[in-house]
Amino acid sequence: MSLTVTNDAAQSATRTGTLTVASVSVASATSPAPPVAPPTSSPPAPVPVPTPTPLTATLGGAKKQKLAPVLAHGLKVSLAANQGTRATFQITLPVLESRLPHSGRNKNASVTLLHTGAQPLRAGSNAITLKLSRGAARELAGSGPLVLTVKVTLTDASGATATRSLKVTLAR
C-alpha cells in the first residue's frame, strides 16, 4: 500500500507499507453496514484575523494629598489598563505656583517636575508611586495649596497611544 499526502504549499510526502486485514466470519445474518461516503475535499476554513482591542485606561488617585508625605515617599496614583502597555509619566506645576521667577505674559506655562522614561505595565490595576527629586521639591512654593497635574501616556504593542491626566492638590 502507498500513501501520498500533499499540503497547501504543494509539498508532498509518500509512505509505502504493508497493511494486513484479518477476516471476520459472521455467524448470524446482520444488516450490511451503510456505505461510507468518500471524504470530499473542501477548501480550508479561513483563519479569523483578530481585531485589535482598543487601548483603554483609567488614571486615579487621591485628589488631595499632604505635601510632606509626597515629598518623603512620593505621589501615589493608580492606573488601570485593559492590556499590557508601556507608560511615561509627567508631573507639572503651573509656573505661577513655583519659586521660579515668572513673567506675567504667559500665565498658562508650567514647570515639569518629573518626567519618567517608558516603563512596562501589566494589564489590570497598577499602584504607582512617583517620587519627586530634591530639585523638584525646591520648585514648590512655600505658601498655600499646590495643584499638580499628573499626565500619563500609554503605548500598546501596536503603537496606539492613550493619554490620561489627573489633578492632585497638595496641602501643607
How far apart CA 146 and CA 170 sit, in angstroms, is: 5
Average pLDDT, the chain: 81
Residue 33 has pLDDT above 90, yes or no: no
Give the per-residue pLDDT at 12: 73
Write the pLDDT tens digit of every residue in 90-120.
998 887 777 766 655 677 778 888 888 889 9
Task: Confirm whether pTM is higher than 0.75.
Answer: no
Cα–Cα distances in Å, from 29 out to 25, 26, 32, 33, 35?
11, 7, 9, 12, 17
The identity of residue 115, as a single letter, is H
**What letter would DSSP give residue 98?**
B
| 8 Å CB contact between 100 and 113 | no
Write the pLDDT tens digit of every residue in 18-28.
766 666 555 55
Domains and CATH numbers, the chain: 63-171 (2.60.40)
- C-alpha 15: how far from its chain's center? 48
